[in-house]
Amino acid sequence: MSVWLLPENIADMLPREARAIEHLRSSFLKLVTSHGFEVVRPPLVEYVDSLLTGTGGDLDLRTFKIVDQVTGKTMGIRADMTPQVARIDAHILNRSGVSRLCYVGSVLHARPLHPLASRQPYLAGVEMFGSSSVESEREVICLGIESLRQFGLENIFLDLGHTGVVKAILDSDPVSEVVQDQILFALSHKDRSALEELRGVLKEKTVDDLIRLTMLFGSEDVLNQVIEEFSDYPEIPEILESVRRLGRESGADIVSCDFADVAGYNYHTGVTFSVNIPGRYQPILRGGRYDDIGERFGRKRPAVGFTLYLREIIAVMDTKRPYAILAPNRLDDAALQSRIRELRENGDIVIEKLPEDNVASLEESFRLDEELVCINGVWTVAARTSNR
């Protein structure tokens, strides 16, 4: 095997992507910290007992596991940062009231989310602990949409859901717990024939309602249909009115609803939301409410948050080369060095050209429209006049 080959679905982050990721990272942190969110940096590895707490089986399958050479215990390389942030809130900070935390970093997946997905996603996200109100959900959703707008994305398509709708239907049928995995699989694929096969196991009404749910998705008008058709479940109208409010106040360009989307059903405990880009396999933003995650750490707290998949976002962005100024490489020229320092302090990129530098190669990474030239003894930024 060639020594330079990387594992499947693992790739280097080359200069243009790395530069774009760094821009998103700094923009994101500047935005969310201005809203009172504090940055945390969890470790890359933890014991699996805490790393997989309250997350369901999907994350377990995506987690690389290794043996700690010091203790002999099983450790996991993080595949998600939300459980780590929940541990920090519950066990270390142990604050009263609302806690607003944010993070940016890489995770590692044992299995890719889809055939083309990187197994080393670069994530950014926020988590809010201590509030069960719809206002906290609104703050988090709006912040997610604002983040995407700050990145330069337009025509943002927000998809809303709520685990409470499916839960209300399943709770009305005691047998549903036995075949819950089959139900969730059928709902996630909108496989009505698979639901039909559960007649005789589930109540007729349960099967009918689940099948109807797979057909009710789309714009806000769907909410009225769901409220009308599921009016015999007393909790559903209140749930849907909160979803309606969140959609209207989200700031997204287009809002749709899909209550048969059960991704993370065993993890989320309320509203769910995602932002999708046409032609992409996975959402670029995913979030929701997950009130049970801190229970295993001894502190059950309401929680809501979102995760941004920065490498997926970069893939749909027009990443432009930054402007740079070419300068002669003359360390003995004090005036030149002073001018270069001044430009760099003002945020400009200045490349001091070495004899081995190839301008054509540099232009693959930078827009070299200007150079420093000495005019009447003064080093001045001027338009480039040659390709040397």
**DSSP letters of 231-299?**
TTSTHHHHHHHHHHHHHHHS--SEEEEETT--TTTTT--SEEEEEE-TT-SS-SEEEEE-TTTTGGGT-
Q: How confident is the model at residue 386 (pLDDT cuts 50, 70, 90)?
A: low
- What is the tens place of the pLDDT at every residue in 208-229? 999 999 999 998 888 999 988 8
Range with the lowest mean pLDDT among 72-81, 295-304, 333-342? 295-304
Mean pLDDT rounded to a whole number for the chain: 92
Give binding residues as ranges.
80-82, 127
- What is the tens place of the pLDDT at every residue in 105-126? 999 999 988 888 889 999 999 9
Domains of the chain from N-terminus onward: 15-315 (3.30.930.10), 323-383 (no CATH)
Which of 91-100, 291-300, 356-365 has the largest mean confidence? Answer: 356-365
Give binding residues for L-histidine as ranges.
80-82, 127
Q: How confident is the model at residue 387 (pLDDT cuts 50, 70, 90)?
A: low
Tell me what pLDDT residue 267 has: 85
pLDDT higher than threshold 70 for residue 54: no
DSSP 199: B
